[in-house]
Structure 1
Amino acid sequence: MKQEQQKLRKIIHIDMDAFFASIEQRDQPRLRNKPLVVGGSPWSRGVVATCSYEARPYGIHSAMSSYEAYRRCPEAIFIKGNMEKYKEVSREIMNIFHDCTDLVEPLSLDEAYLDVTENHWNIPSATLAAKEIRRMIYQTTGLTASAGVSYNKFLAKAASDYNKPDGLTVITPDRAEAFVKALPIGDFRGVGKVTKRKFDSLGIQTGEGLQQLSEERLVELFHKQGHVFYRQARGLDERPVNPERERKSLGKETTLSQDLLLVQDMLPVIEELLDQVLARLRKDGIRTKCIVLKIKFADFQQITRRSTLEHPSNDHAELLEALRSLLEEGTSGGDPVRLLGVTASEFYGPGEVTGGRGKVYKTVNYEQLRLF
């Protein structure tokens, strides 16, 4: 596959196998070889965070309601999970990554890109480096990881999903064309449920079908993302592994114990979520200029509404009033609500750019946190 003079990097994508569930099965022998769901209880309107591989043949997956998971597999074991324990194991894994290379781009607690073109271990082969990383993860944590190795991030990530769990897949330049042609359209970066439905309507199921569309046609259909699809279909991705990747949101959400219809019943929930977000912002001296409300209805349809303030703020009353307006707008249809979320973005700290009310701010990068 022609690389258009793209410099061939050596990229590894590591993805832990059923991370939360695997930790619990490691620590609790009674859970081993059992269908295990980590998340909320089926009787408390919880959501699946992850599940063991024994649960997946039943069609259980992350973000599914716990009740639906129970309906599909009544014999599944449900546990709440321990986020602090998961974070500690994640730190152990990330330390291994950083032992190998400084170019580590974490995507979540259990997933990261590594550029090993040059590495501290002086291993010239990315495949051998990936094998050593997986060995050290298992030796240190007792957990398995799947790895994808290739010359760019898109192919490395697609490769890591190819042979899970405990797999290692290498996509060299001479294998890339055949690999991309056979790749299901849902595995391309940027293809979500809505985009996949559009591709399905066009009869496009794999990368081979995607290659038949011109760049102009893809842009017509998908706007800027069309350029990305065109290049992915040809095995191209220039994005570097970026250890300084910007994170620009801080959010908290909760599934309600029962569906709510009235704004006055939802406001206390919104206020509690806002309090948790503001506690972290104020601790770090950060203000936000954009507040986002997430609403998921009883039928699982989901909307977001956002408000951009005139000036950066961490004032509780001001932000709550903005959320109240968004809530009234978003629930005007009278449909019952099962989940609410509050997210802040566009962060500012002290600096040189003048903001509102005579204060001075500058834009800052801020770590993305999910406070579940």
Structure 2
Amino acid sequence: MKLIFHLDMDAFFVSVEELFNPSLKGKPVVVGGQRGQRGVVSAASYAARRFGVHSAMPLRTAGRLCPQAIFVDGHPHRYREYSHKVYEVLQSFTPLVEMASIDEAYLDLTGAGRLHGPPLRAAHELHNRIHRATNLNCSIGAATSRLVAKVASDQAKPNGVLWILPGQEAKFLAPLEIRKIPGVGKVTEKNLHAIGVTRVGDLAGLEETFLERRFGKLGLALAGKARGLDAGGWFDGEIGDASDPKSISHEHTFSEDTAEAIVLEAMLARLSEMVGRRLRE
């Protein structure tokens, strides 16, 4: 039987900033720019989230929601450095690692019981190793599938460990809001609400044939996810498989609107050069 871990660093960008400026700890912190600038929030501390601030929100909106927030421009090189430290710890734990983003990863620990012990013990050991190596907190979900492990790590936040026993996947998922299922965004959530589905258990109670007629291939994937299966393109491939990035990009937000061709062409050239450099690497 498979054993999959999903590790998610807690408020990663904010936590890294706190390492370099301990006075930020426990305070509402917004990373991504200054309150009056254009642009969006890259990350928010848990204290800021209590005021409704979240990532991808306009900085000015974050400033209105949380006037007392401390705004930090951010330091991407630091985040990459600490992400690499996390990856080194994960690689020392198992070679089957897949970095899903700069601050989260999947690990396949199937058959590693003799090396690391039972799942819960192994999860706590990994949790401790990450903290010793980085002085950062993380949350870990353990389950028989990537989907359930990811949902479990989210439920374990902040700084927790949660193991879903084999055979209990559907029971664990059933009471959760449908939006907790990876891949269910605002549009799909709205469409599911329209047919009376608000919880994962509601979805699990529907026939696959009905879901397929209503949503096509997505419906079949949703039926599988409601039971805790790695269904649909969200979880294609095996953990540890080498794969090239599907896309490489860079972006820039101007502080003021501009329609000047010279300014736009200069920025386009700069962004193109940055993308080209990463491709060559």
TM-score by length of 2: 0.91
Which residue of 2 is the match for residue 176 of structure 1? 169
The equivalent position to 1:77 in structure 2, one of 70, 74, 80, is 70
Which residue of 2 is the match for residue 23 of structure 1? 16
Alpha carbons 1:184, 1:206 under 8 Å: kept: yes
Decide which structure has the larger Cα Rg and report it.
1
Alpha carbons 2:95, 2:240 under 8 Å: kept: no
Alpha carbons 2:141, 2:151 under 8 Å: kept: yes
State the AA in 1 paired with 2:19: R
Looking at both structures, which has the greater relative contact order when contacts are Cα pairs under 8 Å and sequence separation is at least 6? 2
- Would you say how many aligned residue pairs link Structure 1 and Structure 2? 276
TM-score by length of 1: 0.69
Structure 1: stretches of 5+ with no match in the other structure: 1-7, 286-366, 368-372
Which structure has the highest helix share of the two? 2
- Report the identity percentage: 37
Residue pairs, 1:1-372, within 5 angstroms? 8-119=1-112, 122-237=115-230, 239=235, 240-260=238-258, 264-265=259-260, 268-269=263-264, 272-281=267-276, 284=279
State the AA in 1 paired with 2:74: G
Q: What is the Cα deviation at residue 119 of structure 1?
A: 4.3
In structure 2, what is the Cα distance between the partners aligned to 1:196 and 1:270? 39
Alpha carbons 1:101, 1:118 under 8 Å: kept: no
In structure 2, what is the Cα distance between the partners aligned to 1:266 and 1:256? 14
In structure 2, what is the Cα distance between the partners aligned to 1:267 and 1:197? 43
In structure 2, what is the Cα distance between the partners aligned to 1:171 and 1:274? 49
Which structure has the highest strand share of the two? 1
In structure 1, what is the Cα distance between the partners aligned to 2:77 and 2:240? 26
In structure 2, what is the Cα distance between the partners aligned to 1:129 and 1:113? 14
Which residue of 2 is the match for residue 324 of structure 1? none
Moved over 6 A (4+): none
Structure 1 residues 253, 215: CA separation in 2 closer, same or farther (over 3 Å shift)? same
Task: Output the aligned Cα RMSD.
Answer: 2.1
Structure 1 residues 28, 129: CA separation in 2 closer, same or farther (over 3 Å shift)? same
Q: Cα deviation per residue 1:97-123 (whole Å; 9 max; x = unaligned)?
A: 000111100011110000011449811
Alpha carbons 1:190, 1:225 under 8 Å: kept: no
Partner SS for 2:7: strand
Structure 2: stretches of 5+ with no match in the other structure: none
State the AA in 2 paired with 1:212: G
Structure 1 residues 119, 67: CA separation in 2 closer, same or farther (over 3 Å shift)? same
Alpha carbons 1:105, 1:114 under 8 Å: kept: yes
Structure 1 residues 201, 85: CA separation in 2 closer, same or farther (over 3 Å shift)? same
